[in-house]
């Protein structure tokens, strides 16, 4: 084909090649700058859609992780208070039981023992009242306290259906004091509750000794009940800790999965960048040569 003034085929071919190289170069530069090979839906609609959904799920898992942290703090507060109420040989129900056993001794001054008992009763009630975290108290309840309490523990999504997992606690299992006096320590039995036991007027008579034995049995039962409640919350603490570790591990797994879908391979992209920059330079040279060919036509008219 001869030279044409109106149509420079070589220049057109060089220009088309240069456009392709420039487009590929721009794509590579975008991947390097964003760190992603699928940054928008136009890059890969399917992968972008999956990644977007998984990122949303991860945000929900992050909220679950925060909720688990709040739940752990709440349970730990109640658990610590229950453990304190069970007590040891210096206080709590354990000390109260030993004082009542001591009060069985003939001729002992029960008025002085009652002074210690009163202090323990006030201390336990104060402990239960102080076991409040974020406005939640399961040990000292009122009519406004819900019967059950749900602790968010997990999130999953199958298709388009999200599922929120929770740990449901029955508050009456942990209530020591209630506004209706139906808690573990304020329920009246045998004429008194653990909270109102008073031995200051008791004597060595058989009837009063029987009353003391009843108080001891009542406190022993309370120890078992409070210990059982503490054990239950201890199990919940362990479950929350396990769920917290799992949720964090799951979030890391989701992040890795999303990365495999949309992240750019920076080693490959840097190599491609070098090659495309070289191709672009050669393309410019080729276009320049093709344009110069048309200038040679002028020599025919000299």
User: Beta strand pairing status for 177-178 and 140-141?
Assistant: parallel
Task: Provide the pLDDT for residue 199.
Answer: 96
Which residue range forms the structural domain that includes residue 227? 45-262
End-to-end CA distance of the chain: give it in Å, rounded.
Answer: 23
In a domain, 25, yes or no: no
Mean pLDDT of 183-207: 94
Strands (E), 46-189: 140-141, 148-158, 161-170, 177-178
pLDDT at 273: 84
Residue whose entry in the numeric block shows the structure tokens 């503490």: 230
Q: What is the mean pLDDT of residues 16-32?
A: 85
Query: In terms of residues, how long is the chain?
Result: 302
Sign of CA dihedral 14, 19, 20, 26: positive
pLDDT tens digits for range 57-94: 889 889 889 999 999 999 999 999 999 999 999 999 99
pLDDT value, residue 163: 84
Q: How far is residue 99's CA from residue 203's CA, in Å, rounded to a whole number?
A: 15
Residue 276 is assigned to a structural domain of this protein: no
What confidence tens digit (pLDDT) does each residue in 251-292 have?
A: 999 999 999 888 888 888 888 888 888 888 888 888 888 777
222 touches 228 (CB < 8 A): no
pTM for the model stands at: 0.77
Q: How many domains does the chain have?
A: 1
Cross-strand partners of 155: 164
Domain presence at residue 283: no
274 in any annotated domain:
no
Inside any domain, residue 300: no
15 Cβ contact list (under 8 Å, min separation 6): 287
Q: Which residues contact 2 (CB under 8 A, 6 or more apart)?
A: none
Residue 77 in domain? yes
Q: What's the pLDDT score for residue 91?
A: 93
Is 12 within a domain?
no
Categorize the per-residue pLDDT at 300 as very low, low, confident or very high, splitting at 50, 70 and 90.
Answer: low
Residue 301 has pLDDT above 70, yes or no: no
- The reported pLDDT for the residue numbered 178 is 95
Cα-Cα-Cα-Cα torsion 220, 226, 227, 232, nearest 10 degrees, comes to: 150
User: Is the residue at 10 inside a domain?
Assistant: no
Residue 67 CB neighbour total at 10 angstroms: 20
Residue 192: CATH number of its domain: 1.20.1330.10
Asked whether residue 245 carries a pLDDT value surpassing 80, the answer given is yes
What proportion of the chain, given as a percentage, has pLDDT over 90? 57
């Amino acid at each position: 084909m001869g030279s044409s003034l109106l149509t420079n085929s070589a220049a057109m071919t060089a220009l088309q090649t240069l456009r392709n190289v420039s487009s590929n170069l721009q794509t590579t530069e975008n991947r390097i700058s964003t760190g992603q090979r699928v940054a928008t839906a136009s890059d890969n609609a399917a992968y972008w859609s999956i990644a977007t959904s998984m990122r949303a799920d991860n945000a929900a898992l992050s909220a679950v992780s925060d909720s688990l942290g709040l739940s752990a703090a709440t349970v730990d507060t109640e658990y610590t208070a229950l453990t304190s109420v069970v007590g040891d040989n210096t206080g709590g129900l354990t000390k109260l039981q030993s004082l009542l056993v001591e009060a069985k001794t003939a001729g002992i001054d029960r008025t002085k023992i009652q002074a210690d008992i009163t202090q323990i009763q006030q201390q336990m009630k104060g402990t239960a009242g102080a076991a409040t975290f974020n406005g939640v108290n399961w040990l000292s309840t009122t009519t406004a306290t819900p019967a059950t309490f749900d602790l968010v523990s997990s999130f999953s999504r199958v298709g388009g259906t999200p599922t929120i997992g929770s740990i449901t606690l029955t508050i009456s299992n942990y209530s020591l004091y209630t506004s209706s006096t139906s808690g573990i320590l304020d329920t009246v039995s045998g004429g008194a509750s653990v909270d109102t036991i008073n031995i200051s007027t008791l004597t060595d008579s058989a009837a009063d000794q029987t009353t003391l034995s009843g108080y001891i049995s009542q406190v022993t039962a309370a120890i078992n009940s409070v210990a059982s409640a503490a054990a239950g919350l201890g199990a919940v603490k362990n479950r929350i800790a396990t769920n917290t570790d799992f949720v964090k591990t799951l979030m890391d797994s989701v992040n890795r999965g999303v990365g495999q879908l949309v992240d750019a391979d920076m080693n490959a992209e840097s190599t491609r960048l070098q090659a495309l920059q070289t191709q672009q330079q050669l393309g410019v040279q080729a276009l320049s040569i093709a344009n110069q060919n048309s200038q040679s036509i002028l020599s025919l008219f000299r």
